[in-house]
């Protein structure tokens, strides 16, 4: 009887339950099991797993099949440039410029796998261009800010790129401030160079131009700030309510807010400052000085007040208009700011209304009758007095005294406005005695109405 051969248990196939899934194999590998399955028998799911990809090392040749030379030894610059350009008969200067493909080849060699993964990558040194000579061009700037060469040709101007040959560099000299000339700079007057700079800024209102003439701007700004500091002392002598503040709290910035403006020019073409009880900002009436070539100005008052102070002014004009009219009837105010108006209330009020016609109401304000005798003043939304100044009134030795005297004329007007919008005694302890008494008040009101009708 033939023997029956029984297969060995070691060669028996594993049961379906003994098969390990990729998740189990990965779990076993994490527990320290070193048993691995050949790559040919691994499933596509395991091969694409990020865990298996991180543990699998990619076999790479020790040397690149494309580059057999030692990577640490750099080739001569002439050979690299010759291969990069492709024209061996070019001169050295032309081959030195066209070195871009050589850098591309270095980048490609860095992209090849390294022979040792643990070793840090070595930075390859790009061969420097040989034969490139930097030619220094001596230039100078003209009055318009353009850069010209020795022969007078235009090489560069603000906002335009220069077209230089390879290897040439353009050195633009640092502009200097305008010379002061015969008249020296002093703190107590405005120098003529300041007005010259503002005139040039008006013709060249551009950021690139101001960068080139930054030295002139800083010198002019310093001249104006020193003048404001000296003028502050004079203003305090005229009006004791003005505090002593540094110029940075009195002067306005030269930069314009162009976010909601149709005018794209970035800079103001004048220097200006304001003095009030809180500096250039605040709710109080202020004195204002502005300097510009053929556009200097001096004034005082309230420009575009808020609704609350505007309501207080209209209420006071409606009840006691004689207080404002008395200020306008001053001889110096009529002479210097009202164009020599006659000493009559009607003439002074019309001149004052003409100065503040901007943004004035077309009809009567809310809460007031159109037949009000003070309707001309009630329609106003600005309460200012000012006049233009000539250049000779600003520049030179007599400018400080002239401006200080004009500010002294405006003190009663500013005092009146501040007494209405921001009174020192809001409880009314210094109220006008004319308000007391019923019958007397009506008589005074009737008299004021008659005067307004004249």
Cα(375)–Cα(346) distance, integer angstroms: 12
Residues 201 and 263 in one domain: yes
Burial of 31 (0-12, 13-18, 19+ CB in 10 A): exposed
Strand order in the sheet with 296-302: 271-275, 286-291, 296-302, 383-389
Per 3-state DSSP, what percentage of the chain is helix, strand, and coil (rounded to 5)? 40, 10, 50
Range of the domain at 143: 137-170
Residues 317 and 297 in one domain: no
Task: Please report which residue ranges of 298-437 form alpha helices under DSSP H.
Answer: 307-319, 322-328, 331-336, 345-355, 375-378, 391-394, 399-421
pLDDT in tens for each of the 454 residues of the chain?
455 555 544 444 444 444 444 444 444 444 544 445 555 555 555 555 555 555 555 555 555 554 444 444 444 444 444 444 444 444 444 443 344 444 444 444 444 444 444 445 544 444 444 444 445 555 566 666 666 666 666 655 655 566 667 667 666 677 788 898 888 999 999 999 999 999 999 999 999 899 989 999 999 999 999 999 999 999 999 999 999 999 999 999 999 998 988 999 999 999 999 999 999 999 999 999 999 999 999 999 999 999 999 999 999 999 999 999 999 999 999 999 999 999 999 999 999 999 999 999 999 999 999 999 999 999 999 999 999 999 999 998 899 999 999 999 999 999 999 999 998 876 654 445 444 443 344 444 444 343 443 3
CB 175 within 8 A of CB 141: yes
Asked if residue 223 is part of any domain, the answer here is yes
pLDDT at 115: 47
Q: What is the DSSP letter of 152?
A: S
Bridge partner residues of 170 (DSSP)? 137
Residues 339 and 225 in one domain: no
Among residues 291, 251, 250, 285, the alpha carbon closest in space to that of 269 is found at 291
Measured between alpha carbons, how far is residue 439 from residues 104, 433, 436, 444, 445 in Å?
Answer: 101, 13, 9, 9, 10
pLDDT at 181: 85
Bridge partner residues of 271 (DSSP)? 291
Residues 358 and 248 in one domain: no
Half-sphere exposure of 358 (CA within 13 A, CB side): 8
Asked if residue 269 is part of any domain, the answer here is yes
Residue with tokens 């401006």: 403
Asked if residue 131 is part of any domain, the answer here is no
pLDDT at 72: 45
Residues 231 and 363 in one domain: no
CB 265 within 8 A of CB 281: no
Q: Which residues contact 138 (CB under 8 A, 6 or more apart)?
A: 149, 150, 171
Asked if residue 197 is part of any domain, the answer here is yes
Structural domains of the chain, count: 4
Asked if residue 356 is part of any domain, the answer here is yes
Cα(411)–Cα(440) distance, integer angstroms: 31
Cα(372)–Cα(228) distance, integer angstroms: 43
Asked if residue 289 is part of any domain, the answer here is yes
The two structure tokens encoding residue 379: 């329609």
CB 139 within 8 A of CB 171: yes
Residues 203 and 321 in one domain: no
Burial of 101 (0-12, 13-18, 19+ CB in 10 A): middle
Cα(379)–Cα(214) distance, integer angstroms: 45
Asked if residue 158 is part of any domain, the answer here is yes
pLDDT at 84: 44
DSSP string, 220-287: HHHHHHHHHHHHHHHHHHH-TTS----GGGTBPPSB---TT-S----B-SSEEEEESTTTTSSSS-EE
Residues 264 and 403 in one domain: yes
pLDDT at 342: 93
CA 258 to chain centre: 10
Residues 148 and 216 in one domain: no
Residues 200 and 274 in one domain: yes
User: Would you tell me the crossing angle of helices 192-203 and 214-238 to the nearest 10 degrees?
Assistant: 120
Asked if residue 435 is part of any domain, the answer here is yes
- In degrees to the nearest 10, what's the CA dihedral of 35, 38, 41, 43? 70
pTM across the whole model:
0.61
Domain final residue, candidates 62, 95, 111: 111
Residues 190 and 270 in one domain: yes
Count of residues in the chain: 454
Cα(392)–Cα(2) distance, integer angstroms: 139
Residues 149 and 274 in one domain: no
Cα(411)–Cα(286) distance, integer angstroms: 10
Residues 365 and 273 in one domain: no
pLDDT at 95: 41
pLDDT at 42: 55
């Amino acid at each position: 009887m033939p023997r029956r051969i029984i297969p060995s248990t070691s060669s028996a196939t594993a049961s379906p339950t003994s098969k390990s899934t990729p998740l189990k194999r990965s779990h076993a590998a994490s527990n320290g099991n070193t048993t691995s399955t050949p790559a040919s028998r691994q499933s596509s799911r395991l091969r694409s797993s990020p865990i298996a990809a991180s543990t699998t090392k990619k076999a790479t040749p020790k040397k690149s099949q494309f580059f057999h030379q030692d990577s640490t030894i750099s080739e001569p610059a002439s050979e690299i440039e010759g291969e990069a350009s492709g024209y061996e008969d070019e001169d050295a200067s032309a081959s030195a410029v066209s070195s871009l493909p050589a850098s591309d080849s270095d980048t490609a060699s860095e992209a090849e796998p390294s022979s040792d993964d643990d070793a840090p990558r070595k930075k390859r040194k790009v061969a420097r261009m040989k034969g490139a000579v930097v030619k220094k061009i001596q230039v100078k700037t003209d009055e318009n800010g353009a850069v010209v060469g020795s022969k007078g040709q235009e090489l560069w101007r603000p906002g335009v790129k220069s077209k230089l040959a390879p290897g040439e560099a353009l050195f633009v000299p640092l502009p200097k401030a305008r010379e002061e000339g015969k008249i020296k700079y002093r703190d107590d007057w405005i120098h003529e160079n300041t007005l010259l700079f503002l005139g040039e800024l008006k013709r060249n209102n551009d950021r690139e131009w101001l960068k080139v003439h930054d030295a002139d701007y800083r010198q002019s700004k310093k001249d104006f700030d020193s003048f404001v500091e000296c003028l502050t002392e004079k203003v305090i002598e005229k009006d004791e309510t003005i505090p002593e503040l540094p110029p940075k709290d009195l002067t306005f910035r030269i930069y314009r807010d162009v976010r909601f403006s149709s005018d794209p020019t970035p800079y103001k073409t004048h220097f200006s400052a304001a003095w009030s009880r809180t500096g250039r900002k605040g709710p109080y009436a202020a004195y204002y000085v502005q300097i510009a070539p053929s556009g200097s100005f001096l004034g005082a008052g309230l420009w575009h007040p808020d609704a609350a102070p505007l309501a207080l002014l209209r209420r006071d004009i409606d009840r006691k208009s004689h207080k404002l009219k008395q200020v306008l009837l001053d001889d110096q105010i009529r002479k210097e700011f009202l164009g020599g108006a006659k000493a009559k209330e009607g003439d002074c009020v019309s001149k004052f209304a003409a100065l503040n016609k901007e943004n004035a109401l077309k009809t009567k304000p809310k809460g007031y009758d159109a037949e009000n005798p003070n309707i001309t003043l009630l329609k106003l939304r600005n309460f200012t007095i000012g006049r233009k100044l000539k250049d000779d009134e600003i520049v030179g030795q007599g400018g400080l005294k002239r401006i200080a005297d004009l500010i002294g004329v405006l003190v009663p007007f500013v005092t009146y406005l501040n007494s209405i919008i921001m009174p020192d005694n809001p409880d009314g302890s210094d109220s006008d005695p004319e308000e007391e008494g019923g019958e007397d008040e009506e008589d005074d009101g009737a008299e004021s109405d008659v005067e307004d009708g004249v």
